[in-house]
Amino acid sequence: MSLDKFFLAIAFAACGSACSTEETSTPEGPPAPSTVPATATGLGDLGRASGIDSLTTEQLSVSVHGMALYPSRGKILGRMRGQMTNNTGHILTSGELKLRFTVDFVDSCPYELQGSKKLSALGVSNSKPWHPGDTRDFLITTDNGLPEITGDFESASASASLMVTVKDPICYEARGLVAELPASWSSAVAGSPAGGKALSTRRLSVLSAADGGTRLETVEEGVTLTVIQAKGKKLRVRSPGGTEGWIDGDHVDVLEASLLFP
């Protein structure tokens, strides 16, 4: 959401020098708290030159719970799911998330998948501000995709990054790269062997095939499942009773994220 003109008038009339951006260096800081290793940095000189503070991983801590490149309707898309905690010390009312997947193909050019989401889609607004210390869930999917035929191409590497911009209702604005992680191209192609644990978030059926089939078992909410294979959003799991079958990955929380990462 764009800033209201009324708030802008108050900002320049009342803030004075407090609204000016001081030149600061980007602290290296620890990696973002996450279920998988991650590296992150701020915008450095670009942020200072544009009058925007550099957002660090200490100010906005990110925990990535799930990430995948997956086939959907003839294309390969990317998505990321997780949580963000506001440690900026500011009451935030607007902003934007930008997700980018980069796939570097062997003997070909790299390709980028990009997607964005306003913080308003996460329930952040002037009437529902994001207070310091509060945590918000997020799910973001790329807007563009690779043709599914590229699944036959060999990839040297793939990675994902999450850039976040946050604003308060007056004059604070910060932007930074808060997560940068490796992605698994092989899981986007045909489903790769995986290991990990996932917790069911609702009552769901374990099916005999990824695209449906017969119901093998019904799993209640709060059951820990062993993940055997990831195929897009579908997960092949083993229940505590030993039943092996397929479930929808949207209905579980990833406890061990090795299924989505190399």
User: Are 109 and 220 contained in the same domain?
Assistant: no
Shared domain for 212 and 175, answered yes or no, is: no
CA–CA gap between residue 166 and residue 176 (Å, rounded):
9
Same domain, 160 and 55: yes
The pLDDT, as a whole number, for residue 190 is 43
Calculate mean pLDDT across residues 97-126: 90
Angle at 252 between CA 249 and CA 253, to 5 degrees: 120
Q: Which domain holds residue 254?
A: 192-260
Give the pLDDT of residue 98: 95
Q: For the residues 116-128, what does the mean pLDDT come to? A: 94
Q: pLDDT tens digits, residue range 226-249?
A: 887 766 667 788 899 999 999 887
What is the pLDDT, as a whole number, of residue 194?
54
Buried b (16+ CB within 10 A) or exposed e, 167-197: bbbbbbbbbbbbbbbebbbbbbbebbebebb
* 154: amino acid identity, one letter: E
Shared domain for 125 and 183, answered yes or no, is yes
Give the end of a domain, one of 153, 188, 223. Answer: 188
111 plus 50 within the same structural domain:
yes
Q: What are phi and psi of 150, to 5 degrees?
A: -65, -10
Q: Cα-flanking dihedrals φ and ψ of residue 144, to 5°?
A: -110, 165
In a domain, 81, yes or no: yes
Same domain? 253 vs 134: no
User: What tens digit of pLDDT does each residue of 191-227 get?
Assistant: 444 556 778 888 999 999 888 889 999 999 989 888 8
Q: Can you give the pLDDT at residue 254?
A: 62
Segment 54-92, tens digit of pLDDT: 888 889 988 877 777 776 777 888 888 888 999 999 999
Q: What is the pTM of this model?
A: 0.58
pLDDT tops 60 at residue 26: no
pLDDT value at position 211? 81
The answer as to whether 134 is a domain residue is: yes
Q: What is the mean pLDDT of the chain?
A: 74
Whether 79 and 96 share a structural domain? yes
Indicate the pLDDT class of residue 255, thresholds 50, 70 and 90.
low
Instruction: Tell me the per-residue pLDDT of 133-188, one tens digit each, with 9 for 90 and over.
Output: 999 999 898 998 888 777 777 777 788 899 999 999 998 999 999 888 877 665 55
Question: Does residue 139 share a domain with residue 104?
Answer: yes
How many CB atoms within 10 Å of residue 221? 11
Task: Compute the distance between CA of residue 25 and CA of residue 29 in angstroms, rounded to an integer.
Answer: 12
- Res. 22: pLDDT tops 50: no
29 residue type, one letter:
G
**Which of 138, 161, 188 is the last residue in one of the domains?**
188
